[in-house]
């Protein structure tokens, strides 16, 4: 009965814990919602209105007056002043105007009387990006506000920014509240970028060389900086020229590391992507050089780099579609990165001709979607590094186990050969004893003694491949007793008695090499011949080893590594990696070549003890 009650209480306790966790999560989200809602609707933002509607405008070279229900981009050319005006009907105590300018100079008038002249850009031919606060005189209500906008760049000559009217406290509160969310994006991008760069450095220590993490990290940092460059709060910390250089400079350059990341991740379209990466690199580096050398300005450069980026975007989308639909590959996250760009341009074109959505809303949708995808790609990349780190740890353990097995085989060989040496040394004494038995005509004892010697001699049988003790021991153990009608063995060994390579390393290398070769040979079916060729020779300070063998079937590779075809992949498949690790230990080189019928491994090891630098 006690057990029954104990079993019945467990689900209740579990649901109680689940409910408690759910309540904590909901409470946390409610708190965060309330917190950020307060940031977006500050209580100090009481006396402020958006006066970006009901404007009239005309151009300096075209006095025809037109209406503008909402401030929007119009067609205008560089250095041609755009004049906008409207009646101020909003009554706000301590009224001040807050106006952005993007590479523009501003002049404000009230009933034709100048009240503000852009002093930040006085004497400058290249205005930057800044935020203007213009106090209004008492009794401004009912008067006409005129805003004159002039820009030396075509792209900004007809691009008015939103205008707000309010007291300074409300305007400052608004500037802060609109920047909180984007500032959070910036901190997230900076944290992810730095994390990815650190993981790239860590992967190099693990010899994984995941340079894609570095490129993605740099992109995250640059993209995060450019993303917040238009926030109202940013204008408080940088001069107009500094802000312009930072904003447009990051927008021109962040595309290049993004392309490098995509190129590093591409599996089937690398060759086709090389010209795209080159175009992105020339666009970024060339644009910065043109600006530094004062040949062209960033706003003009931005127009052409944007066109190049969209061309590259379009071609990359085609390559992604080719990989998905033609090569029947799954959709990777890095390929999905281009989908928001495609949607953005479709919405942009539709909205431009039909006014279906405001352009600022289209851009906001695009940026939010792209940000979510960037976060997803970064999380997947970090998770991939974590899996690789764990896999490397398991591989190291397995390599150590495999090496330990090879060393145990080596110790067994060594013990057997020591016993063989003792038996050979005693052979002369045994022959003398046999001769003495024959002289004494003790034939029965002699026959028994001969039988004993015959059994011992079978243990001593085996060819002499080389004078090198350890190499000869391995070859005798692995090759000498193979049936002659199965695998045809050819050896060519020319090495001295002594080598400067540690015996355990030489044993591990040869045992893995020969085991892999014999295993591959045994899979070859008649009428094809099973064969293996082994050549070991010393040339100068290098020990050269070349092994070729017959094979059948397909070589399985993954991440440029040869995988085992055995079912038990946790035990097998590490022979090549053990050989590579030993080759690296002796500052050597290894080359693998194979076709449908043959597999060849060539290795060169410096005949120098590791860490000494001397032969």
pLDDT, residue 272, reads: 82
Report the DSSP beta bridge partners of residue 592: 601
Separation between Cα atoms, residue 163 and residue 160, nearest integer Å: 9
Highest mean pLDDT among 4-18, 379-393, 475-489: 475-489
Report the DSSP beta bridge partners of residue 598: 550
**Mean model confidence pLDDT for the chain:** 78
Question: Is the pLDDT confidence value at 555 over 70?
Answer: no
Report the DSSP beta bridge partners of residue 487: 530
Which contiguous run of DSSP H or E holds residue 373?
Answer: helix 359-439
Question: Is the pLDDT confidence value at 81 over 90?
Answer: yes
Chain segment 506-539, per-residue pLDDT in tens:
888 888 888 888 888 888 888 888 999 999 999 8
Separation between Cα atoms, residue 388 and residue 558, nearest integer Å: 13
Q: What is the mean pLDDT of residues 77-91?
A: 92
Chain segment 471-487, per-residue pLDDT in tens:
887 887 777 767 766 78
Chain segment 355-366, per-residue pLDDT in tens:
666 655 666 666
From the list 476, 605, 584, 488, the residue with the least C-alpha distance to 536 is 605
Q: What is the mean pLDDT of residues 309-335?
A: 68
From the list 83, 87, 89, 88, the residue with the least C-alpha distance to 65 is 83
Separation between Cα atoms, residue 149 and residue 100, nearest integer Å: 11
From the list 491, 481, 435, the residue with the least C-alpha distance to 459 is 481
Q: Give residue 251's pLDDT band: very low, low, confident or very high (50, 70, 90).
A: confident
Which contiguous run of DSSP H or E holds residue 230?
Answer: none
pLDDT, residue 534, reads: 94
Question: Is the pLDDT confidence value at 563 over 60?
Answer: no
Q: Give residue 559's pLDDT band: very low, low, confident or very high (50, 70, 90).
A: very low
Phi and psi (nearest 5°) for 369?
Answer: -65, -45
What the block records as the tokens of 294 is 């004062």
Contacts of residue 548, Cβ cutoff 8 Å, sequence gap at least 6: 532, 533, 598, 599, 600, 601
Of 175-184, 378-387, 431-440, give the lowest mean pLDDT range. 431-440
- Using the 8-state DSSP alphabet, how is residue 326 labeled? I
> By three-state DSSP, how is residue 132 classified?
strand
pLDDT, residue 572, reads: 37
From the list 259, 254, 286, the residue with the least C-alpha distance to 273 is 259
Q: Give residue 615's pLDDT band: very low, low, confident or very high (50, 70, 90).
A: low
What is the DSSP secondary-structure string of 188-234? HHHHHHHHHHHHHHHHHHTT---HHHHHHHHHHHHHHHHHTTT-TGG
Report the DSSP beta bridge partners of residue 550: 598
What the block records as the tokens of 526 is 């008649």
Query: Does the model's pTM come out above 0.85?
Result: no
Residue of 136 and 296 predicted with greater confidence: 136
Q: Give residue 305's pLDDT band: very low, low, confident or very high (50, 70, 90).
A: confident
pLDDT, residue 609, reads: 67
pLDDT, residue 386, reads: 73
Separation between Cα atoms, residue 262 and residue 381, nearest integer Å: 12
Q: What percent of the chain has pLDDT over 70?
A: 72
Alpha-carbon separation of residue 73 from 82, 156, 267 (angstroms): 11, 8, 42
Separation between Cα atoms, residue 128 and residue 298, nearest integer Å: 10
Highest mean pLDDT among 23-37, 58-72, 226-240, 505-519: 58-72
Residue of 490 and 437 predicted with greater confidence: 490
Question: Is the pLDDT confidence value at 40 over 80?
Answer: no
- Unique residue bearing structure tokens 């010697």: 453
Other beta carbons within 10 Å of 218: 21
Contacts of residue 100, Cβ cutoff 8 Å, sequence gap at least 6: 129, 130, 131, 132, 161, 162, 230, 232, 235
- Using the 8-state DSSP alphabet, how is residue 267 labeled? S
pLDDT, residue 396, reads: 59
Question: Is the pLDDT confidence value at 8 over 50?
Answer: no
Question: Is the pLDDT confidence value at 243 over 50?
Answer: yes
Question: Is the pLDDT confidence value at 140 over 80?
Answer: yes
Strands 530-539, 487-494: pairing is: parallel
Residue of 227 and 279 predicted with greater confidence: 279
Separation between Cα atoms, residue 496 and residue 481, nearest integer Å: 24
Residue of 366 and 21 predicted with greater confidence: 21
- Unique residue bearing structure tokens 């693998």: 592
pLDDT, residue 2, reads: 43
pLDDT, residue 610, reads: 59
Q: Give residue 604's pLDDT band: very low, low, confident or very high (50, 70, 90).
A: very high
Query: Torsion angle of alpha carbons 363, 365, 369, 371, nearest 10°?
Result: 50
Residue of 491 and 433 predicted with greater confidence: 491
pLDDT, residue 566, reads: 46
Alpha-carbon separation of residue 581 from 102, 201, 500, 554, 585 (angstroms): 58, 21, 17, 24, 6
Phi and psi (nearest 5°) for 188?
Answer: -65, -45
Of 154-168, 190-204, 406-420, give the lowest mean pLDDT range. 406-420
Q: What is the mean pLDDT of residues 553-568?
A: 49
């Amino acid at each position: 009965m006690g057990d029954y009650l104990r079993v019945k209480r467990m689900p209740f306790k579990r649901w109680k814990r689940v409910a408690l966790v759910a309540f904590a999560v909901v409470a946390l989200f409610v708190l965060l919602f309330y917190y950020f809602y307060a940031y977006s609707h500050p209580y100090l933002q009481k006396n402020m209105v958006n006066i970006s509607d009901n404007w009239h405008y005309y151009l300096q070279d075209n006095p025809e007056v037109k209406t503008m229900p909402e401030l929007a981009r119009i067609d205008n050319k560089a250095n041609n002043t755009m004049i906008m005006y409207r009646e101020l009907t909003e009554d706000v105590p301590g009224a001040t105007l807050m106006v952005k300018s993007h590479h523009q100079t501003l002049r404000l008038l009230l009933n034709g009387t100048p009240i503000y002249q852009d002093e930040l850009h006085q004497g400058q031919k290249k205005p930057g990006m800044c935020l203007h606060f213009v106090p209004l005189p008492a009794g401004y209500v009912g008067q006409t506000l005129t805003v004159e906008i002039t820009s030396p760049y075509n792209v900004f000559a007809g691009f008015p920014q939103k205008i707000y009217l309010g007291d300074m406290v409300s305007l400052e509160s608004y500037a802060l509240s609109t920047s909180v969310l984007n500032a959070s994006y910036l901190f997230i991008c900076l944290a992810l970028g730095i994390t990815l760069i650190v993981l790239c450095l860590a992967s190099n220590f693990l010899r994984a060389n995941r340079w894609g993490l570095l490129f993605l990290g740099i992109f995250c940092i640059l993209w995060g900086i450019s993303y917040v460059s238009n926030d109202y709060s940013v204008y408080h910390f940088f001069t107009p020229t500094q802000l312009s250089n930072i904003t447009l400079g990051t927008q021109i350059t962040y595309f290049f590391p993004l392309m490098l990341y995509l190129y590093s991740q591409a599996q089937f379209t690398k060759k086709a992507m090389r010209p795209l990466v080159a175009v992105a690199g020339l666009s970024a580096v060339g644009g910065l050089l043109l600006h530094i050398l004062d040949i062209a300005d960033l706003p003009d450069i931005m127009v052409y780099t944007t066109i190049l980026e969209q061309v590259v975007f379009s071609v990359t989308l085609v390559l992604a579609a080719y990989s998905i639909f033609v090569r029947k590959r799954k959709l990777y996250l890095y390929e999905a990165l281009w989908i928001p760009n495609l949607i953005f341009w479709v919405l942009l074109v539709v909205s431009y001709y039909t006014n279906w959505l405001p352009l600022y809303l289209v851009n906001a949708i695009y940026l939010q979607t792209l940000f979510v995808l960037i976060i997803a790609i970064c999380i997947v990349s970090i998770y991939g590094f974590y899996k690789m780190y764990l896999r490397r740890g398991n591989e190291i353990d397995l390599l150590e186990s495999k090496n330990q097995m090879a060393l145990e085989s080596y110790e067994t060989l060594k013990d057997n050969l020591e016993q063989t040496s003792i038996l050979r040394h005693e052979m002369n004494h045994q022959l003398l004893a046999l001769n003495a038995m024959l002289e004494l005509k003790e034939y029965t004892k002699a026959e028994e003694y001969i039988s004993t010697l015959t059994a011992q001699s079978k243990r001593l049988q085996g060819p002499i491949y080389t004078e090198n003790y350890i190499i000869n021991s391995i070859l005798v153990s692995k090759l000498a007793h193979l049936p002659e009608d199965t695998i045809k063995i050819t050896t060519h060994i020319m090495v001295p008695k002594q080598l400067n390579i540690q015996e355990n390393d030489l044993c591990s290398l040869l045992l893995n090499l020969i085991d892999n070769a014999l295993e591959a040979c045994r899979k070859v079916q008649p009428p094809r011949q099973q064969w293996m060729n082994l050549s070991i020779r010393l040339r100068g300070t290098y020990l050269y080893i070349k092994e070729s063998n017959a094979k059948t079937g397909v070589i399985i590779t993954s991440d440029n590594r040869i995988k085992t075809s055995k079912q038990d992949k946790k035990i097998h498949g590490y022979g090549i990696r053990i050989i590579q690790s030993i080759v690296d230990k002796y500052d050597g080189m290894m080359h693998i070549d194979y076709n449908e019928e043959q597999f060849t491994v060539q290795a060169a090891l410096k005949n120098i003890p590791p860490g000494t630098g001397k032969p």
